[in-house]
Amino acid sequence: MSASVSPLAPTDVPDMPAIAGVKLATAAAGIRYKGRTDVLLAVMDKGTAVAGVFTKSKCPSAPVEWCRAKLGRGARALVVNSGNANAFTGKTGRQATALTASIAAKAVGCSANEVFLASTGVIGEPLDATKFDGVLATLAETAAPDEWMAAATAIMTTDTFPKVATATVKLGKTKVTINGMAKGAGMIAPDMATMLSFVFTDAPLSSAVLQSLLKSGVEDTFNAITIDSDTSTSDTLLAFATGAAADDGAPKISRASDPRLKAFAKAFQDVLANLAEQVARDGEGARKLVEVIVEGATTKNSARKIAMSIANSPLVKTAIAGEDANWGRVVMAVGKAGEPANRDKLSISFNGIRVAKSGARDPSYNEAEVSEVMKNPKIQIKVALGLGKGRDRVLTCDLTKEYVAINGDYRS
């Protein structure tokens, strides 16, 4: 965890309401550091549906493999630890997940198959799951409905602030709640998920409906952010629906096409988008939030690839850090993306000021004017390709000396 909070941290942190059927507790288990809160236990009521999306890394962590194998069943517990990713740990890693799930199952009073796991931290070091023994039993006894901020803090690694979001929406005529938390500040180039993120609702949704909401929800949220182009081994996004709102009259939803789901789906997406932006704001060493918009592409998919090429370019990101509207680096990133582009139709703007038009510097370019807007904490880079109707948007941040400092001694 960094010493100073990112200057891009949200100024308004929401009050996180309780969600019927969910209780949370945190503790310091000494996974990597002594005295640091590093384990979260979420306990869910019987009948809780679960869905998940995970990293597409070919070297996934043991907890990712564990969760993938357990989807489609109910969920009673979630155990998250920070400090050790339990990734690239071979047979001992798989044994650690099994032992953790067994300890949690005993503490909660459920089957190990109803326990979901996530780990974040250093890759390649064995996780001593015996450290959970006793700790999880205590957490199960003390778990409470209002520990959301403590939970979001417990899962942090190099994050500088806990990331939470909430929404209230009607399902049928009944008010339901959606709460989410996320962690992530580096090794961020999500592919079907975020680093670690957990969303809870009291809405009575089937696992299939929840899975559908997740799969579509990540596409323009967590899959549209990048800090450093590096997809983690541990990316996990899990959603839990306790169904408790059915007692208050909320309709049970078993089909993703159910028209009653429309308002809920939007609120669910808004929570994911809020969390994803917070991750981008907390990029390691970040001082600028960068929004990249590409329009006029041949397709949305093509626009996404070009936008990611710009957002992942170290040269673009360091120029932003230096408050330099270097459109030449943007041109470079567009050109190398491997997508249709016509140099002579290209226009580029920074924070609404056009600096390049029709493949050359804009005739009205004013260095002083552009330099002034580059001082803003949020920078928008807009690229117009002039080829079609494809448009997309991704979020990233600048690349500073602090990023190198944080990652140069990450394991020490």
**Binding-site sequence positions for substrate:** 157, 183, 194, 284, 407, 412
Reduce the secondary structure of 237-288 to three states and give it as a string: EEEEECCHHHHHCCCCECCCCCHHHHHHHHHHHHHHHHHHHHHHHCCCCCCC
Long-range contacts of 96-100 (CB under 8 A, 24+ apart): 96/62, 96/126, 96/127, 96/128, 96/129, 97/62, 97/63, 97/65, 97/66, 97/129, 98/66, 99/129, 99/130, 99/132, 100/129, 100/132
221 is catalytic: no
CB contact set of 390 (below 8 Å; sequence gap of 6+): 294, 295, 296, 297, 298, 299, 300, 301, 302, 303
Annotated catalytic residue within 55, 89, 153, 194: 194
Binding site membership: which residues?
157, 183, 194, 284, 407, 412
Strand 22-27 relative to strand 39-54: parallel, antiparallel, unpaired?
antiparallel
Question: So which residues are the catalytic ones?
Answer: 194
